[in-house]
Amino acid sequence: MNKLNDTDFGTPERVSDTQITLEIDGMTVTVPAGTSVMRASTIAGVNVPKLCATDSLEAFGSCRVCLVEIEGRKGYPASCTTPVENGMKVKTQTSKLADIRRGMMELYISDHPLDCLTCPTNGNCELQDVAGIVGLREVRYGYKGKNHLELKKDESNPYFTYDASKCIVCNRCVRACEETQGTFALTIDGRGFDSRVAAGQNDSFMESDCVSCGACVQACPTATLTEKTVIMMGQAEHSAITTCAYCGVGCSFKAEMKGNEVVRMVPYKDGKANHGHSCVKGRFAWGYATHKDRMLKPMIRKKITDPWQEVSWEEAIGYAASEFRRIQAKYGKDSIGGITSSRCTNEETYLVQKLVRAAFGNNNVDTCARVCHSPTGYGLKQTLGESAGTQTFDSVMHADVIMVIGANPVAAHPVFASQMKRRLRQGAKLIVVDPRTTEMVKGAHYEADYHLKLKPGTNVAVISAMAHVIVTEGLVKEDFVKERCDMQSFSEWTAFVSRPENSPEAMEAVTGIPADTLRAAARMYATGGNAAIYYGLGVTEHAQGSTMVMGIANLAMATGNVGREGVGVNPLRGQNNVQGSCDMGSFPHELPGYRHISDSTARAEFEARWNVTLNPEPGLRIPNMFDAALDGSFMGLYCQGEDIVQSDPDTQHVASALSAMECIVVQDIFLNETAKYAHVFLPGSSFLEKDGTFTNAERRISRVTKVMPAKAGYSDWEVTQLLANALGYPMQYKHPSEIMDEIAALTPTFHGVSFKKIEQLGSVQWPCNENAPEGTPIMHIDQFVRGKGRFIITQYVPTDEKVTKRFPLILTTGRILSQYNVGAQTRRTENVRWHSADRLEIHPHDAAERGIRQDDWVGIESRSGQTVLRATITENVQPGVVYTTFHFPESGANVITTDNSDWATNCPEYKVTAVQVMPVTQHSEWQREYERFNKQQLELAKVD
């Protein structure tokens, strides 16, 4: 266990109204009932030696080095497994105990290689520490025990090794895999001196069910399970707390450093979103930050067929500014715009939208949330009054019924999934609404009570049918609704959902879900106790994405499942800072804090502070920017940290729009797909190279800490500032904390936020202001943010994207654990060992009908385009549905997706595309053109 972590109390914290007072080595200590003697001792400042205990795991009681004497009790009980009792008198240090502990350690050491000086965890090994603490001076059994040096190391995992010769069989890894991660990949195999840890059925770690979360490595007290970076680099010498730059869980980490180099990332025990746990991405997949593909020099070119020229920062910024002004002079003020990034910090995102509104003089700013959770913003604002999730992640531990809709947290939000699985193992019920059989449906020691395997595109029909059951069977929480909701909207809604056409029976043909299953699931949600809904892009990325979000909110309000622990409506945000980028005013119609640009009071506050006049008209959304580019009225774009060519739908349309523009400025750490259409390239900085904050899916604002200098010379916020100044709009921030101070001053929900506050509290959930100085974990407690909760009618409208004879299958898309979004980061790490290419999942019936065999190349064609992937034949998808991920640019998943989008927000309908699939022998025409263009662009940038 790593020494740089805070105190290890040996056993987990207990919460109880009953307090117990006892005496330990003459000191009085009072602790909650259920606390172990070991933990109470640590609280009293007395450290009892331990090997098999650690405070992230339940006590196991196997190593016997933590024995104590308790007055009036026979023998020597293990302090880790003995709960405190009132009046107990404990002695932790007696000569008898010292003898026993030394004896135990002699046994351990007689069976352990004595190579401390060359051991990778020398100086950070609990076995070594305990040997020192107990005063081990000799080993009477000799050192020639069965030291197992002949055992081969398992080095199959790219990130850690398993050296069985050093294993003391403390079981911590096995328990970490079970309790912390919930994967159950490890067991203890063999007996006595021969017992060792085994992954799977004695497979290598890579062949087993292990998902490389690293919880076992963190829990191991010896060098048995060790990070390969530690083996290579030795122990770290300093550390800093920061936040993961991957998904919306927002795990907190200790970046353990040697000079400016990361030795390892250790999930931070006090991190409120992750409590010391992480997934393979955050813990291990950070090598991209120093990858050779990093672009570290600013570059410019006149045309995208010209070679890139490396220039100074000054020249690149000057060129970008002069081009933007030239374009505005020629095509008008509104002919340029910017795209903010959900991977950048709040401060950076805020600056980009400020640059657009204040320096460009228009509201043409948008963000990638357009293509993921914009319907969440719209739908929750309409119904509840605030466009963010209602809970903390910890709230799931109070849920009795968990309904997961259109999300696969096991792959996309893994640390939260581990917590959810823990709750499921404790007995909470599970309803999964998903067209695929994902890992969420069934896993180690849990299984969904109901899996509503709907046809893609029929979410709204499902939610209305569930509402029908709840209303017509009298399951509405009348008191809650009467007190908290708008009754007019409620009665209109009940009248609507009660109609026979919304019944599960009537909807069965549409949704494909048997009516009695849907009825049973609806009853379980309404009557099973605290019911919480978690949803993802399978809800939002539809033509009726916003309608579905409102349908979810309706259901939660009608059943009284909002405003306390264990319930709520919880969007699982995809990227690390997608919540923050929305909060920071990245949408064309909203200033920071979701205030409409047409609101003259809000505008006046920003105008006074920014010293400009703001345009009251909303600007262009991303798809409108593309259309305007093709019309010849939108000619310049500043794109920070987003890869719209890969991530936005209908790639060929996006590429044509970008090709039509006269100046595209891309700021990124790699020459991404969008940069291949750019005229100015500004090197970006990774999360390790800047200060700032990220906001996770719980509205939790956490610090991002600069642990190494910006590799290209500037952090991203500094580059935006340089560009603003070059455009003649002064920005003079010396540190991101000053940007946050400005955000706080201008945003009512952030009035109380500052770097100082975040550092004091560890993190803070907005709203954080005069009314909630320490933030707001649970929202809508006494009343909804909008006053009365508003029900909205959710009429199911089938999507225009229909299956036809020509396109008889529905393609839906999703993510995989080891890769992240467009893959720009994870593809440049060893994570490719788990997923090196996107594949098409197809049901055996559909495959047989087409003569497709496992691993065959298959062509996938929609009305937008065609691409080719290898086939995976699986019953995880239902007949009529095919599925792929979108992590590799050459896959061209978005060549297939169409320009259909959500009616309210333009969020693309990624989850429903009518396609045909057929066996093929070569790449598609688009792929061949991509390969040519890609090669040409890499040559123009002189990148291998």
Q: Which of 20, 37, 52, 168 touches ligand FES by CB under 6 A? A: 52
Q: Is-contact 264 230, C-beta < 8 A?
A: yes
Judge contact between 586 and 369, C-beta under 8 A. Answer: yes
From ligand FES, ligand SF4, none, which one binds at residue 62 (CB under 5 to 8 Å depending on kind)?
ligand FES
CA 354-672-834 angle, to 5 degrees, is: 120
Torsion sign across C-alpha atoms 613, 365, 576, 643? negative
104 binds ligand FES (CB under 6 A): no
Cβ proximity to ligand SF4, 113 vs 713, nearer residue: 113
Could you tell which of ligand FES, ligand SF4, none binds residue 78, using a CB distance below 5 to 8 A set by kind? ligand FES
> With helix as H, strand as E and coil as C, how does 908-932 read?
ECCCCEEEEEEECCCCCHHHHHHHH
Which CB atom, from 286 or from 594, has the smaller least distance to ligand SF4? 286
Query: Is position 89 an interface residue for ligand FES (rule: CB under 6 A)?
Result: no
| Of residues 11 and 503, the one with the C-beta less far from ligand FES | 11
61 binds ligand FES (CB under 6 A): yes
Assigned token pair, 743: 């955000």
Pick 88 or 216: Cβ nearer ligand SF4: 216
DSSP strands (E only) in 113-175 = 160-162
Smallest gap from Cβ 762 to ligand SF4, in A, equals 16
Q: How far is the CB of 219 from ligand SF4 (least distance, A)?
A: 6
CB 724 within 8 A of CB 753: no
249 binds, among ligand SF4, ligand FES, none (CB under 5 to 8 A by kind): ligand SF4
Contact between 188 and ligand FES (CB under 6 A)?
Answer: no
Is there binding between residue 62 and ligand FES (CB under 6 A)? yes
Among 1, 20, 29, 63, binds ligand FES (CB under 6 A): 63
Using Cβ positions, the residue closest to ligand SF4 within the complex turns out to be 282
Query: Which tokens hold the place of 433?
Result: 């609404």
Give dist(CA 344, CA 707) in Å, integer.
Answer: 16
Q: Name the segment binding ligand FES (CB under 6 A); options: 49-57, 303-311, 335-343, 810-818.
A: 49-57
Binding partner selected for residue 658 from ligand SF4, ligand FES, none, CB under the kind-specific 5 to 8 Å limit? none
Only one of the segments 64-72, 82-90, 543-551, 553-561 lies at the binding site for ligand FES (rule: CB under 6 A); that segment is 64-72
Edge to edge, what strands does the sheet with 700-704 contain?
692-695, 700-704, 764-765
Pairing relationship of beta strands 636-640 and 89-91 according to DSSP bridges:
unpaired
The answer, yes or no, to whether the previous bond of 767 is cis (omega within 30 of 0) is: yes
| Among candidate residues 327, 311, 389, the one with its CA nearest the CA of residue 364 | 327
Give the C-alpha separation, 863 to 850, whole Å.
Answer: 20
CB atoms within 10 A of CB 183: 23
Binder among 46, 51, 352, 471 for ligand FES (CB under 6 A):
51
CA-based nearest residue to 674, from 352, 373, 412, 894: 894
Which does residue 884 bind out of ligand SF4, ligand FES, none, counting CB within 5 to 8 angstroms by kind? Answer: none
Cβ of residue 48: shortest distance to ligand FES, in angstroms? 8
Stretch that binds ligand FES, among 61-69, 515-523, 585-593, 909-917 (CB under 6 A): 61-69
Nearest to 566 by CA among 423, 417, 685: 423
Confirm or reject binding of residue 556 to ligand FES (CB under 6 A): no
Question: Which residues, 6 or more positions from 528, have their beta carbon under 8 angstroms from its beta carbon?
Answer: 400, 401, 429
The first and second tokens of residue 492, run together, are 């209109």
Placement of tokens 């903390």 in the chain: 392
Closest contact distance (angstroms) between CB of 160 and ligand FES is 23
Place of tokens 């999703």: 814
Does 64 participate in binding ligand FES (rule CB under 6 A)? Answer: yes
Residue pair 443/421 in contact (Cβ under 8 Å)? The answer is: yes
* Residue 65 to residue 68: CA distance in whole angstroms: 9
CA distance 215 to 115: 25
Stretch of 57-65, 87-95, 207-215, 869-877 lying at the interface with ligand FES (CB under 6 A): 57-65
63 binds, among ligand FES, ligand SF4, none (CB under 5 to 8 A by kind): ligand FES
> Residues touching ligand FES: how many (CB under 6 A)?
12
- Tell which one of 66, 550, 882, 912 touches ligand FES (CB under 6 A): 66
Residue 246 interacts with which of ligand FES, ligand SF4, none, CB < 5 to 8 Å by class: ligand SF4
Residue 66 near which of ligand FES, ligand SF4, none (CB within 5-8 Å, type-dependent): ligand FES
Q: List interacting residues with ligand SF4 (CB under 6 A).
A: 167-173, 176-177, 181, 183, 185-186, 197, 210-216, 219-222, 224-225, 244, 246-247, 249-251, 274, 278-279, 281-282, 414-415
Q: What is the DSSP letter of 251?
A: -
Among ligand SF4, ligand FES, none, the one that 462 touches (CB under a kind-dependent 5 to 8 A) is none
**CB of residue 207 to ligand SF4, shortest distance in Å:** 12
Q: Does 175 participate in binding ligand FES (rule CB under 6 A)? A: no
Cβ(345)–Cβ(696) under 8 Å? no
Nearer residue to ligand SF4 within complex by CB, 199 or 550: 199
Which lies closer to ligand FES via its Cβ, residue 50 or residue 711? 50
Q: Which does 80 bind (CB under 5 to 8 A by kind): ligand SF4, ligand FES, none?
A: ligand FES
R_g of the chain computed on alpha carbons: 29
Rounded to 10 deg, the angle between the 459-472 and 545-558 helix axes is 20
User: What x-and-dash track marks residues 6-45 binding ligand FES by CB under 6 A?
Assistant: ----------------------------------------
Residue type, 330: K
Closer CB to ligand FES, 61 or 808, in the complex: 61
CB of residue 79 vs ligand FES: minimum separation in angstroms?
A: 6
Q: Please give the structure tokens belonging to residue 692.
A: 């700032």
Nearer to ligand SF4, 186 or 658 (CB): 186
Residue 53 sits in the site that holds ligand FES (CB under 6 A):
yes
Q: Which residues of 258-282 are buried (b: 16+ CB within 10 A; e: fewer)?
A: eeeebbbbbbbbebbbbbbbbbbbb
Using CA atoms in the order 97, 99, 102, 103, what is the torsion angle rounded to 10 degrees?
-110
Nearest to 261 by CA among 289, 280, 285: 289
Judged by beta carbon distances under 5 to 8 A according to partner kind, the member of ligand SF4, ligand FES, none in contact with residue 222 is ligand SF4
N-to-C CA span, the chain = 40
What amino acid is encoded at 240 in this protein? A
CB of 121 to ligand SF4, least distance (A): 11
List contacts with ligand FES (CB under 6 A). 50-53, 61-66, 78, 80
